[in-house]
């Protein structure tokens, strides 16, 4: 069975992952809030040469935690079961704390952490009901390695999600479920298109191809692209606070 559910599939990395999995013979279950974009993507994928798989789509806000369970189970059953679930949906758009941005900062945590956790719980229930091997993938970020000023809620959400993925991997290993944590660097998508400085930027298409390879190789953890971010992130983690706070991020 080669079927993947991807959350946040209406744009950016999730959309390109949908194309990459389709090109590689997977059935697709695509989720996002903007249903009309999913409809357009479904039509484009159907036009791909050699694609003969199923595509099921569903509108879902991952903050609607009860609906996450219902929608993912429904999508999995429409696909005849799934082998992979990618918790990719995410938002950014933080501002400096103390600038009246609490409502948005709260939403960043609700989507990036709690929404993703709900998807994972639903995915585990699906894999258990299928009595089959399952692969859960979480899209976190290198932004979780340190607290980025003006992006505190985003950095915090990704630090939390990466830590969650590390523990989740151990918890579900005995259920024959694999957990992969993917930490992208800068990938050219709407989430960061207004940022002035996007070092080592790669396109969403290239990013999705690299992420696909990591998933198929069943890696537990990957920084994407590996170079130069493996080196940059090493220094990010060890730079002392007095230097970190002098760096310019915009």
User: b/e for 212-221, b at 16 or more Cβ within 10 A?
Assistant: bebbeeeeee
User: Is there binding between residue 189 and ligand NAP (CB under 6 A)?
Assistant: yes
User: Is there binding between residue 190 and ligand NAP (CB under 6 A)?
Assistant: yes
CB of 60 to ligand NAP, least distance (A): 6
Give whichever of 32 and 82 is closer to ligand NAP, judged by the CB atom.
32
User: Is there binding between residue 165 and ligand NAP (CB under 6 A)?
Assistant: no
Element (H, E) at 72: helix 65-79
User: Is there binding between residue 141 and ligand NAP (CB under 6 A)?
Assistant: yes
Give whichever of 29 and 98 is closer to ligand NAP, judged by the CB atom.
29
**How many of the other CB atoms lie within 10 Å of CB of 62?**
26
SS3 state at 4: strand
User: Is there binding between residue 104 and ligand NAP (CB under 6 A)?
Assistant: no
CB of 188 to ligand NAP, least distance (A): 7
Binders of ligand NAP among residues 36 to 55 (CB under 6 A) are 37
Give whichever of 178 and 201 is closer to ligand NAP, judged by the CB atom.
201
**Cα radius of gyration rounded to whole Å, the chain:** 18
Among 13, 30, 119, 215, the residue binding ligand NAP under the rule CB under 6 A is 13
CA distances to 99, 101, 153, 154 from 95, rounded to whole Å, are 7, 7, 9, 10
Q: Which two three-digit tokens encode residue 200? A: 């080592």
């Amino acid at each position: 069975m080669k079927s993947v559910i991807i959350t946040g599939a209406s744009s950016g990395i999730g959309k390109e992952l949908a194309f990459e999995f389709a090109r590689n013979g997977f059935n697709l279950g695509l989720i996002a809030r903007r249903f009309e974009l999913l409809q357009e993507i479904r039509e484009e994928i159907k036009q791909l040469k050699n694609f003969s798989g199923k595509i099921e789509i569903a509108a879902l806000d991952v903050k609607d935690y009860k609906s996450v369970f219902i929608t993912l189970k429904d999508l999995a059953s429409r696909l005849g079961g799934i082998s992979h679930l990618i918790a990719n949906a995410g938002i950014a758009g933080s501002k400096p704390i103390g600038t009246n941005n609490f409502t948005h900062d709260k939403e960043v945590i609700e989507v990036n952490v709690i929404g993703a956790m709900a998807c994972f719980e639903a995915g585990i229930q699906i894999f258990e009901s299928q009595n089959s091997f399952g692969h859960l993938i979480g899209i976190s970020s290198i932004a979780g390695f340190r607290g980025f000023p003006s992006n505190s809620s985003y950095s915090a959400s990704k630090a939390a999600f990466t830590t969650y993925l590390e523990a989740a991997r151990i918890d579900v290993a005995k259920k024959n479920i694999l957990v992969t944590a993917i930490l992208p660097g800068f990938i050219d998508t709407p989430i960061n298109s207004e940022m002035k400085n996007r070092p080592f930027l790669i396109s969403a298409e290239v990013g999705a191809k690299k992420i696909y390879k990591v998933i198929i190789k069943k890696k537990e953890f990957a920084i994407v692209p590996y170079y130069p971010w493996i080196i940059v992130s090493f220094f990010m983690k060890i730079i002392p606070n007095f230097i970190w706070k002098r760096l310019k991020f915009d």
